[in-house]
């Protein structure tokens, strides 16, 4: 695969774009249902992708520039289903949980909740689906910022030089099994390129490039 970035010219040129999508025409999957914690038939979803570019001369016939920017913002509604402990498996420190109230104890008839475990039991939500399952909606945010700037310079009819810098920042908040706990992910990639092209003859070209990458 070869990717070619645009260069500026002797004339000014540019563009703008916007792409929008939402959940109005989405279909419901098996787990999307109306519950006390999910009053909507479908989780909300919006995506906006927009940006623009501009390029032109710095010095006629000699030096040019080109800049591009793109932004992606998404709010993806997700219906998450996970296993949890039964409602009868909760209790305060010193309380007793019986097998009848909490079948997940298995062959153990009863247990006493020690103070160290009581706060951990409170972190588990009560099931709102059959078979001790819990479902909850989540609006998953993700953003991506992309920018690139390029400069071209004509040294002579046989020698040209260009430099390019690209940066791409990403942000994503992924949900874990239970509400209130997120996996926060941030990324950044940077690329810098300097290239010199010299034409010795119609059949011989010398190209020297230096690339620096950072992630």
Q: Please classify residue 171 by burial: count the beta carbons closer than 10 Å to its beta carbon, then call 0-12 exposed, 13-18 middle and 19+ buried.
A: middle
pLDDT, position 2: 52
Query: Is the per-residue pLDDT at 33 higher than 60?
Result: yes
pLDDT band with cut points at 50, 70 and 90 for residue 3: low
pLDDT, position 212: 72
What H or E segment, with its residue span, contains residue 164? strand 159-175
**Dist. CA 83–CA 127, nearest whole Å:** 8
pLDDT, position 35: 63
The string of pLDDT tens digits covering residues 191-208 is 999 999 888 877 766 666
pTM value > 0.85: no
pLDDT, position 198: 84
* CB contact at 8 A, 32 and 79: yes
The string of pLDDT tens digits covering residues 42-89 is 777 889 999 999 999 999 999 999 999 999 999 988 888 899 999 999
pLDDT (average), residues 173-187: 88
pLDDT, position 176: 86
Strand partners, 105: none
The string of pLDDT tens digits covering residues 86-139 is 999 999 999 999 999 999 888 889 999 999 999 999 889 999 888 999 988 888
Mean per-residue pLDDT of the chain: 86
**Dist. CA 210–CA 82, nearest whole Å:** 50
pLDDT (average), residues 23-42: 66
**Dist. CA 49–CA 146, nearest whole Å:** 11
**Dist. CA 45–CA 77, nearest whole Å:** 5
Name which residue leads in pLDDT, 41 or 152: 152
pLDDT, position 177: 83
């Amino acid at each position: 695969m070869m990717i070619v970035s645009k260069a500026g010219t002797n004339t000014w040129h540019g563009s703008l774009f916007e792409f929008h999508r939402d959940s109005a025409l989405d279909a419901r999957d098996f787990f999307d249902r109306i519950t006390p914690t999910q009053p909507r038939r479908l989780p909300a979803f919006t995506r906006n992708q927009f940006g623009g570019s501009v390029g032109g001369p710095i010095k006629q016939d000699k030096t040019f520039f080109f800049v591009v920017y793109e932004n992606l913002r998404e709010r993806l509604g997700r219906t998450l289903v996970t296993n949890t402990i039964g409602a009868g498996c909760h209790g305060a420190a010193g309380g007793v949980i019986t097998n009848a109230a909490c079948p997940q104890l298995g062959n153990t008839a009863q247990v006493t909740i020690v103070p160290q475990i009581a706060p951990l039991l409170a972190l588990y939500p009560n099931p709102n689906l059959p078979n001790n399952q819990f479902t909850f909606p989540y609006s998953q945010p993700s953003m991506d910022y992309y920018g690139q700037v390029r400069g071209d310079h004509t040294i002579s009819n046989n020698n040209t030089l260009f430099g390019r810098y690209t940066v791409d920042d990403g942000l994503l908040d992924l949900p874990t099994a239970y509400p209130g706990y997120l996996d926060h992910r941030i990324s950044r990639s940077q690329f810098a390129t300097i290239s010199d092209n010299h034409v010795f003859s119609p059949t011989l070209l010398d190209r020297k490039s230096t690339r620096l990458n950072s992630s």
